[in-house]
């Protein structure tokens, strides 16, 4: 199926105001998402927040089915969250403290070079608390995480047990798509828990947790999924639900079963807390259904093709260097321009109605340091962008 660009743009009110090439930051939501959120807020203001939630209960339950369809998992394996960092942290902190199997001195966590800093800091916290070591899997000659190096690290003699493989599928700072499924096969073969940050993946390309082989997957709503800000979710493989316990457990994820006993919900929703932004969650469900209605293969093909067109155009401009790595490249395009500060480029283009962002070293320190980069300009088209917008960006960069 191909995308009907005219319809996609007509259903995206923001396209009438900006050239939005910051979908890796936060995408323009489509009209149905906007309608779902504003209608619920209006209902809350009219009949009361708890009463509006009761009214929306059926649709709210449907959000779990929608996310399950998106990930090809079951609704019992889905917990909603406020963002990807919260979702990731719920899984990571639970693993760190797993009864009888938590991290101990000498244990190892293996991660990737372009891991997001919001994941690296909890690694270091866990290291300080438990003595677990954090090791970075080298990248191969294409720049993607090396599956061979991962195998070698697991087999290294005299080293502690690998207690977790935690990598980012699509890093925030470029077009790289890490070989997440191949890494999943290694994790499975060795029985190592596998936590995948799919924050930039969902809504940009198909995701199938079975094919990826991950035990946990975290994601956000506002990026390529086009959902409201402040939404995200966690996938927890069913087999883990027998033994994983949230670090923060309240009386909706659990229940007091006596003065000195508590129980947990049987499903992944044990990770959720009682209070949440219902309007945003309804918007998330609509955004997922909307993406599925276009088809994730069609979305990927269109977004990746626009990004390729942009890369080729940038490559042809003197003084411009495309910074993307990897054998497969997604809809995130990063570049630098000789003699121009990335932030100044972003500001100049913003003045022309073109939205871009800057990815800086503190977000992906290991990768940026390894490449001697401090900041790159990031342009991230989506399927609803058109070729004319890509050409406008190229002309604007050329004219710098």
Ligand X SMILES: Cc1ncc(COP(=O)(O)O)c(C=O)c1O
Using CB under 6 A as the criterion, which residues of the chain lie in contact with ligand X when the complex forms?
83-85, 116, 118, 168, 171-172, 197, 199-200, 220, 232
What is the token pair recorded at 353?
């109605």
Nearer of residues 12 and 201 to ligand X, judged by Cβ? 201
Whether 198 contacts 73, CB under 8 Å: no
User: Cβ of residue 272: shortest distance to ligand X, in angstroms?
Assistant: 16
- Find the largest Cα–Cα distance for the chain: 72
Nearer of residues 56 and 180 to ligand X, judged by Cβ? 180
The secondary structure of residue 375, as a DSSP letter, is: E
Nearer of residues 200 and 334 to ligand X, judged by Cβ? 200
Nearer of residues 213 and 232 to ligand X, judged by Cβ? 232
Q: What is the DSSP string of 159-209?
A: PPPEEEEEEESS-TTSSB---HHHHHHHHHHHT--EEEE-TTTBTTB---H
Nearer of residues 126 and 170 to ligand X, judged by Cβ? 170
Give ∠ CA 264-216-189 in degrees, rounded to 5: 120
Nearer of residues 36 and 120 to ligand X, judged by Cβ? 120
Nearer of residues 123 and 320 to ligand X, judged by Cβ? 123
The CA distances from residue 32 to 12, 37, 221, 235, in Å, are 9, 9, 15, 25
Whether 323 contacts 334, CB under 8 Å: yes
User: Cβ of residue 209: shortest distance to ligand X, in angstroms?
Assistant: 17
User: Cβ of residue 397: shortest distance to ligand X, in angstroms?
Assistant: 23
> Three-class SS string for 139-160?
ECCCCCECHHHHHHHHHCCCCC
User: Cβ of residue 176: shortest distance to ligand X, in angstroms?
Assistant: 11
User: Cβ of residue 146: shortest distance to ligand X, in angstroms?
Assistant: 19
CB atoms inside a 10 Å sphere around CB 182: 16
Contacts for 198 with CB less than 8 Å, ≥ 6 apart: 169, 170, 180, 207, 217, 218, 219
User: Cβ of residue 121: shortest distance to ligand X, in angstroms?
Assistant: 12
User: Cβ of residue 168: shortest distance to ligand X, in angstroms?
Assistant: 5
Partners of 84 in the β-ladder: none
For the purposes of burial, counting CB atoms within 10 Å of the CB of 254, is it exposed (0-12), middle (13-18) or buried (19 or more)? middle
């Amino acid at each position: 199926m191909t995308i009907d660009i005219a319809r996609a743009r007509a259903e995206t009110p923001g396209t009438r105001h900006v050239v939005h090439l910051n979908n890796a930051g936060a995408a323009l939501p489509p009209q149905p998402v906007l309608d779902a959120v504003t209608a619920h807020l209006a209902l809350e203001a009219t009949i009361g927040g708890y009463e509006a939630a009761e009214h929306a209960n059926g649709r709210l339950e449907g959000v779990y089915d929608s996310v399950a369809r998106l990930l090809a998992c079951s609704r019992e394996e889905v917990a909603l969250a406020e963002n990807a960092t919260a979702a990731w942290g719920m899984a990571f902190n639970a693993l760190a403290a797993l009864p009888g199997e938590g991290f101990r001195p000498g244990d190892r966590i293996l991660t990737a070079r372009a891991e997001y800093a919001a994941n690296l800091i909890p690694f270091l916290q866990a290291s300080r608390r438990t003595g677990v070591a954090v090791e970075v899997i080298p990248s191969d000659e294409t720049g993607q995480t090396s599956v061979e190096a991962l195998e070698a690290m697991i087999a290294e003699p005299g080293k502690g047990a690998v207690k977790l493989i935690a990598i980012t599928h699509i890093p925030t700072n470029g077009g790289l798509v890490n070989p997440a499924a191949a890494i999943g096969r290694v994790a499975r073969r060795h029985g190592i828990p596998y936590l995948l940050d799919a924050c930039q993946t969902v809504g940009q390309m198909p995701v199938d947790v079975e094919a990826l082989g991950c035990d946990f997957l975290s994601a956000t709503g506002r990026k390529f999924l086009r959902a409201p800000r402040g939404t995200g979710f966690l996938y927890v493989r069913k087999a883990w639900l027998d033994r994983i316990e949230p670090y923060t457990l309240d009386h909706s994820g659990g229940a007091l079963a006596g003065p000195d006993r508590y129980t947990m919900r049987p499903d992944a929703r044990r990770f959720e807390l009682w209070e949440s932004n219902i309007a945003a969650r309804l918007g998330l469900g609509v955004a997922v259904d909307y993406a599925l209605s276009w088809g994730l293969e069609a979305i990927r093909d269109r977004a990746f093709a626009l990004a390729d067109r942009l890369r080729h155009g940038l490559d042809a401009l003197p003084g411009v260097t495309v910074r993307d790595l990897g054998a497969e490249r997604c809809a995130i395009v990063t570049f630098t321009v000789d003699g121009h500060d990335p932030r100044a480029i972003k500001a100049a283009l913003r003045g022309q109605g073109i939205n871009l962002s800057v990815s800086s070293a503190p977000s992906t320190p290991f990768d940026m340091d390894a490449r001697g980069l401090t900041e790159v300009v990031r342009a991230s088209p989506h399927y609803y962008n058109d070729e004319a917008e890509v050409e406008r960006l190229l002309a604007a960069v050329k004219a710098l």
